[in-house]
Amino acid sequence: MRRRTFLTGTAASAALLAGCNSGTETETPTDGGGTEPTATSTATATPSDTPYSVEMAPVGEVEFESVPETWVANNGSWADMGIALGQEPPKGVWLTSRYHTQYYDEIDGLSVDKDDMTSMSNDGVSKELFYQFDADVHLIDPTFLKNRFGSWNRADVDEIESNVGPFFGNSIFSRSYGWHDSYQYYDLYGAFEKLSQVFQQRERYEAFVSLHEEFRANLDPHVPAASEAPSAAVVWGSGDQPDTFYPYVQSEGTSFKHLRDLNVQDALAASDVKDFHSSRGAIDYETLLDVDPEMLLVRGQEAKSAAQFEDTVVSFMQDHEVASDLTAVQNGDVYRAGPLYQGPITNFVVTERTASELYGVSESLYDRERVADIVAGDI
């Protein structure tokens, strides 16, 4: 195995607590913050033929002697960021089933083929798999990796960094992991900016920042004030006939960005229901009926179209003895909740979809052709 020409700095330490079990889209779910971006950032790109470094918690400062070409991603958030920056698809992601490339179908000229993409957790995320990838950079939070698999430790991370390539990432999608409290979170565009420095794609990043500003300007007139916005319970429910759910209390994690941008209020936050990440527990329809949210948003259903979701999950709830008493079911306000993992492109798609379902927005809120052009380098 040839040694990569990437030098890693000292990583920040973090508390090591028990992590989650791996799974697929139909199994138990596994799930950071800051200010929204502006296009006037003062960060500058370094020429690709000159060594440069990028700093990010918890990995510290990572020095690159050349721009990475091959890569793997922790999840769909980082995978989508890489695609937005004009990169070839990653060799692998944690779970390919949760990298929802069907979202790209909304954008002519943009597609990602997952056929040859490895679902890393299927192999137990072994070190041998990283050697097989032989990737230039691993867009994975190493603290997440160590907490998800007890077989991984600091020495294993150091070995892969020395013999293959560096780790670079942060678990931005959730704010609920106790082991993440010891180091900084990033919001979506904060992490996106860091990755643009890794791939030396500052222009693409700034183009997406401008497009995001236009998107928010188009969205804002449709968004009610917090005092008038609906409350919703976000739960994970698997399969066509879910009868138990994993509750998600909304946080500043990027998996809730679309709901924050739409001012959706959290029905679970005002209840006694504990977040899945802290309780590891499930709830049933009786508990949901006690909360009785105005809207019910169901995760674990992103592989279904809206029609398929209606014909299976919603239909099942309408016929269910207890679920049929829920206000959200009676009023027809049960929807797919959106993914755990959002990058800049998928956030456009999911936010526009949710705005249509919740607020009846019928107009296009972002320029699809512009997205494809930026990805293609026509900036």
74-99 b/e with 16+ CB inside 10 Å = b? bbbbbbbbbbbbebebbbbbbbbbbb
- At 31 the pLDDT is 38
pTM: 0.88
- At 5 the pLDDT is 43
- pLDDT for 87-112, tens place per residue? 999 999 999 999 999 999 999 999 99
Q: What is the mean pLDDT of each run of 10 residues along the chain (379 residues)?
A: 38 31 40 40 49 97 97 97 98 95 97 95 87 98 87 93 98 87 95 98 98 98 97 97 96 96 96 82 96 98 97 98 98 97 98 98 98 97
* Sheet strand arrangement including 92-93: 118-119, 92-93, 71-73, 137-139
pLDDT, mean over the chain: 88
- At 48 the pLDDT is 56
For residue 56, give the DSSP letter: E
Residue 7: beta bridge partners? 63
Backbone angles phi, psi at 273, to 5 degrees: -70, 130
Cα(299)–Cα(345) distance, integer angstroms: 19
- At 44 the pLDDT is 37
